[in-house]
Amino acid sequence: MHIVVVGGGVVGMTTAYELNRRGHQVTVLERHSLAGNETSKANAAQRSYGVVYPWADPSMVFKAIPWILKQDGPLKLRFPPSVETLKFMFATLRYAWSPGLFGLNRRAMLRLGIHSRERFLALEKELDLAFDGDHQGLLHLASTPEALEGYRVTHELLNELGIPSRLLTPEQVREAEPGMVGNGPLYGALSYDTDGTGDCHQFSRELAKACEAKGVVVRYNVEAEKLIADDHKVSAISLRTGEGTMETLEADAFVISAGCWSNHLVQPMGLELPIYPVKGYSLTVPMKDPERGPASTIHDDNYKVVSTRLGNRLRATGFVELADFNRDIPEARLATIRKSVESRFPGCADLDAAETWTGFRPMTPDGPAIIGRGPRENLYLNTGHGTFGWTLSAGSADLIAQVIDGEDPILCLDAFRPGRFQE
């Protein structure tokens, strides 16, 4: 079967890999000149299988306003907010206040995280990809006694689901991370022992090359304009090439993995995907003293900044900003990220010389990704992974391939069903 995958980010490329592995003819359409060049380009670099949770967290609702008003707060809102921003915020509140929904969605996402880790390990065993990948765990630091108590609850849930984790004392944290000699407050940490790291952009490019070597066609600099369909099936997709010419590509099935740009393709067929571009920022810099940098991934709960080791580089990422598709990079955001790194790993890198980035995480208002059959019998969705696209990509790719092949998915997909926003 010839299957077109729209989107060449990490979700689209892992989907192409899984479909090719099953014997399908695959064509990937990517609007950039490289794979993984949008949301995947400079994300937090953590494959945080045990950390995944829904965006619509009821415990975060009452923290939102103080975070917005605080200068170094992790949540930012562009004023005046657009109509799209307000709709997304109110939808998030509605899902956050739906009794029991957060717990159900969190468990579903954690189960997908477990499966994704398994698929990543299998993929890395089959393919020799260079992307500074590792699985040395992740530490969630506790900057207050209250944070540590909250981690105890999380630790119990992870144990229940069979996800290895440990509660660490400050001494154990510094033993695991000897470079962490800064004066940031520390009361302990929750260690996610099997979580991973890796450069998502490099992985996406390397996987694209590996897929092409196996027969996948990856077309760059093409814009997916419109799906051509009747009431039952999609017959083709209309494309605009880099030269500006229009083209029609026929196929047997279509998978939409276009992140924040997914909705415009399916909306004409009656399916609304309320995916919002949640903005984040990152710094990437070679470490001038690797011994003073993180060994793996550190989540600093004091600033809500993630610092990750990528070979001899440091990637530091922070902020959740609701600003539509604004690509400005305010110096204040970068300054907060630098403060976090210096408070934990002083002197490990020349942060003023770092490469800066901003990108958009394709977030659904309730939190889970959108995985499953779309509004036509040969149209499928694998999109809307929010901040966890890198983490969940390998697992969701395997699941959508199972759905396309008519198999019963290995995991229940109720939490991820595409039509849930119109129910």
pLDDT of residue 421: 96
Confidence band of 288 (pLDDT split at 50, 70, 90): very high
CA distance 115 to 171: 32
pLDDT of residue 69: 79
pLDDT, residue 70, reads 85
Pairing assessment for the beta strands 188-192 and 138-142 based on DSSP bridges? antiparallel
Q: How confident is the model at residue 279 (pLDDT cuts 50, 70, 90)?
A: very high
Cα 106 to Cα 46: distance, rounded to the nearest angstrom: 18
CA distance 368 to 415: 7
Q: Are 218 and 30 in contact (CB under 8 A)?
A: yes
User: For residue 370, what pLDDT is reported?
Assistant: 98
- Which whole number is the average pLDDT over 398-410? 98
Partners of 281 in the β-ladder: 318, 358
Res 151 pLDDT > 90? yes
Residue 338: pLDDT over 90: yes
Residue 16 confidence (pLDDT) above 80: yes
Q: What is the mean pLDDT of the chain?
A: 96
pLDDT at residue 115, as a whole number: 98
pLDDT per position as a tens digit, 262-276: 999 999 999 999 999
Q: How confident is the model at residue 60 (pLDDT cuts 50, 70, 90)?
A: confident
Task: Name the band, by pLDDT with cuts 50, 70 and 90, for residue 199.
Answer: very high
Q: Summarize the confidence of residues 156-183 as an average pLDDT.
A: 96
Q: Give the mean model confidence (pLDDT) for residues 202-227.
A: 98
CA 56 to chain centre: 16
Contact in structure between 73 and 66 (CB atoms under 8 Å): yes
pLDDT score of 309? 96
pLDDT of residue 68: 85
Q: Give the mean pLDDT of 108-114.
A: 98
CB atoms < 10 A from the CB of 166, how many? 15
What element of type H or E holds 171? helix 170-176
Average pLDDT over residues 306-312: 96
Confidence check: pLDDT of 61 > 80: no
- Cα–Cα dist 84/64, whole Å: 18
Domain 54-97+128-194+276-363: homologous superfamily in CATH: D-Amino Acid Oxidase, subunit A, domain 2 (3.30.9.10)
Q: pLDDT for 91-101, tens place per residue?
A: 999 999 999 99
pLDDT for 121 beyond 80:
yes
pLDDT in tens, 227-270: 999 999 999 999 999 999 999 999 999 999 999 999 999 999 99
Quick one: what percent of the chain has pLDDT higher than 70? 100
Is the pLDDT reported for residue 19 higher than 80? yes
Name the band, by pLDDT with cuts 50, 70 and 90, for residue 64.
confident
Q: What is the largest CA-CA distance in the chain?
A: 64
Q: How confident is the model at residue 172 (pLDDT cuts 50, 70, 90)?
A: very high
Residue 113 has pLDDT above 80, yes or no: yes
Q: Are 239 and 251 in contact (CB under 8 A)?
A: no
**Strands, DSSP E only, in 24-73?**
25-29, 46-47
What's the pLDDT score for residue 323? Answer: 96
Contact 284, 271 (CB under 8 A): no
If one counts every other C-beta atom within 10 angstroms of the C-beta of residue 272, the result is 12
Q: What is the pLDDT of residue 72?
A: 86
Q: What is the mean pLDDT of residues 6-11?
A: 98
- pLDDT on residue 170: 97
Per-residue pLDDT band for 67 (boundaries 50, 70, 90) equals confident
Q: Span 193-202, mean pLDDT?
A: 97
Calculate mean pLDDT across residues 13-33.
Answer: 98
Cα–Cα separations (whole angstroms), residue 240 to 30, 224, 249, 355: 11, 7, 11, 31
